[in-house]
Amino acid sequence: MIDVEKAPRLFVPWLVLATVCSVLMWLSPGEETIPYHVAWIGVALAYGFDPWPSGRTLAAIATYTLVTGGILVVRAAGGVIGWEETAEIPLMAILVLLSVWHVRRREFAWAELQKMADRDRMHAEQRERLSRLTSHEMRTPLTIATGYLDLLLDGESDGDRREDLLVVRDELGRLSRAGERLLRMMRLPDEQRREEVDLRELFEQVASRWSTVADRRWMVDSGTATCFVSAERLRACLDTLIENAVRHTSDGDAIRLTAFERAGTVHIGVADSGPGFSPELAKAINDQDFRTAQQLSQTSASGRTGLGLGLLHEMVAASAGKVLAGRSAEGGAIVLMALPQAGASVPASAPGAPVPHSAYG
């Protein structure tokens, strides 16, 4: 919006300029052209730097048009200039009015952008409050229920009842994981700050945290040291990939966190020794056909990706990267986020030969 309080800053100097130019036009018969155009140029410059209120602008343009137009008509009637020169009277006014219209359109567009930014900031704050509230409201009862269930399991000797309680515990775990995925998706739009991330350190932290949850052979293979990315987004996507890998592997199976650089592109992902992807799903992911991949993951028992595919796609799309899928060195699946470095392009093919890996812990 135009700030009315600032409007007089250049308006008064232009009024002085217009008055001087009008006087010079009257005192210089036959030399009216220069002062006439100088004042018009002045109004265009002044309004461009410091827009005036609409009423004041129209009044100024109309007044200057009448005053200078009258002088030009008098000169034409006296034979000092030709009548064709008077055509500039409406033409210059129209030209300046068009400039005023463009400036005002720019001002209103900027005001709309500011409103959109304010709305986005408000929505981000609302999402943050909602995610915190939801996290508390979901985790607390689930933790309490799981604790009581563990107590019942410890004191239960009947085989059938233990089996029923284990089913309930498994369902509580699924509910907890689903809640975690939803919370990650709620937070991802706000976690866009990029920084230089030490991949090995991040992998060690993630593997250590998950090793207390699932009995797997956790491995870290970081062939590249750092990557410039949002650490929170990357952690959320790794958690999602690991959750899928845990769900499709058994105790003692291998899960590997891997990162390597190839042709200027950093590949970050998770490999496992589970059943792997179906050929159709792997092809859909590598072709970036996420709608087909989402349908396959929902209808196939080995689809694996589910809601996590949306998380991955959102992150890599923000970094102009790709999601790649293939078969890992362990014989199962590998999902990679291919993130281009500055000036590099991302290959469209699936991951090539698996890179060497080292045991974690």
Q: Kindly tell me if the per-residue pLDDT of 180 is higher than 50.
A: yes
Beta strands 265-272 and 254-262, pairing class? antiparallel
- pLDDT for position 255: 95
HEC secondary structure over 142-200:
HHHHHHHHHHHHHCCCCHHHHHHHHHHHHHHHHHHHHHHHHHHHHHHHHCCCCEEEEHH
Q: How do the domains of the chain map onto residue ranges? A: 1-189, 191-359
Indicate yes or no: pTM above 0.85: no
Amino acid at position 360, single letter: Y
Q: 226 forms bridges with which residues in the sheet?
A: 198
Query: How do residues 258-289 score in pLDDT, each as one tens digit?
Result: 999 888 888 999 999 988 888 888 888 888 77
Using DSSP's 3-state secondary structure scheme, residue 265 falls into: strand
Q: What is the predicted pLDDT for the residue at 342?
A: 52
In tens, the pLDDT along 120-173 reads 778 767 766 766 666 656 766 777 788 888 888 888 888 888 888 888 887 787
From residue 64, alpha-carbon distances to 12, 39, 183, 318 in Å are: 14, 9, 63, 53
pLDDT at position 257 is: 94
Q: Which CATH fold would you assign to the domain 191-359? A: Heat Shock Protein 90 (3.30.565)
